[in-house]
Amino acid sequence: MTTLPNKTLKSNILVVDDSAENLRILSSMLTEEGFAVRCARSGLMALTTLQNTRADLILLDIKMPQMSGYEVCEHLKADPVIL
């Protein structure tokens, strides 16, 4: 990975995973690289977050309880306002 010299924010990234450990690791790594990172523990939390603030990139876990990553993608495709 390349580190930015002045640590200006590159992009907004939303990390969606039901594992707190995965969220912590990914968030830490991406933040150190200068990205603005937001985390969501479920698909529903991700959709709610995206209604308020857009993301340049979404890192989405596929196997989650209640709403899978595939279902989150279906909701995102169906709502042009979010994307």
| pLDDT score, position 3 | 53
Write down the residue that tokens 């969220």 correspond to.
23
**pTM of the predicted structure, to 2 decimals:** 0.84
- Which domains, and CATH codes, for the chain? 12-78 (3.40.50.2300)
Contact 32/1 with Cβ under 8 angstroms?
A: no
pLDDT tens, the chain, 83 aa long: 555 555 565 899 999 999 999 999 999 999 999 999 999 999 999 999 999 899 999 999 999 999 999 999 999 999 877 76
What order do you get walking across the sheet with 57-60 strand by strand? 36-40, 12-16, 57-60
d(CA 32, CA 57): 17
| pLDDT score, position 82 | 75
Q: Which amino acid is at 19?
A: S
| pLDDT score, position 29 | 97
Write down the residue that tokens 């603030």 correspond to.
53
